Amino acid sequence: MNILPPQVIHLGKITSKHGYKGSVNIFWDDEDLIPEEGDYLFVIINEKGVPFLIETMNTTGEIVKLKNIDSEEQAHELIGSTVGLDEADVEFQNSPIQLIGFQVINHNQSIGTITEIQNFPGQLMFTVSCENRNFLMPFVEEWIVNIDENSRTLSVDLPEGIIDPDNHEN
């Protein structure tokens, strides 16, 4: 019996409320991993995943009604919150979304941690956080050398000039 909270995979963000009965609009980072009605969606509140049952959602999955969120005020409190699923419930099928939280290693040197994945036109980009800044790194499968899920590291072989972690902005 596992009493610890599950590891939550971040899949999107609540962007606004919809209507006056507590529905919310969600922007999904990966359209292949949108949950279904009856699934539990975890809303990150105070850095913890709080489970809400998905009562209804429209066909695109953008408008979602969560159980016990029944008013405009309750929905408004969730705007800007990250949402996700229990890692055990997600079938990744090589989805880059699973790499959030992984340490990025380039030529045996840590360059930061993946904190977000952004979908730019024609290109997925990792937001990588290092000591005093964030930078964008393109998601290119050919650059990935190894993914170690146990140590949560992503080893890459980046072309010269893609990033320069030693050139910090203060």
Per-residue pLDDT of the chain (170 residues; tens, 9 = 90+): 455 667 787 888 999 999 999 999 999 887 777 888 998 999 998 888 899 999 999 988 899 999 999 999 999 999 999 998 887 776 554 566 678 889 999 988 889 999 888 877 778 888 899 887 888 888 888 898 988 888 889 999 988 877 765 554 43
Q: Do 36 and 53 touch, CB atoms closer than 8 A?
A: no
Q: Which of the listed CATH numbers 2.10.109.10, 2.40.30.60, 3.30.70.2750, 3.30.750.24 matches domain 8-89?
A: 2.40.30.60
Q: Which H or E run includes 74?
A: helix 72-78
- State the pTM of this model: 0.56
Q: Which of the listed CATH numbers 2.30.30.240, 1.20.1050.10, 1.20.1540.10, 3.30.70.1150 matches domain 96-156?
A: 2.30.30.240
CATH 2.40.30.60 in the chain, residue ranges? 8-89
Q: Do 78 and 65 touch, CB atoms closer than 8 A?
A: no
CA distance 76 to 65: 13
pLDDT of residue 3: 58
CATH 2.30.30.240 in the chain, residue ranges? 96-156
pLDDT of residue 2: 53
Among all chains, which residue has been given the structure tokens 């066909």? 59
CA distance 140 to 154: 12
pLDDT of residue 13: 93
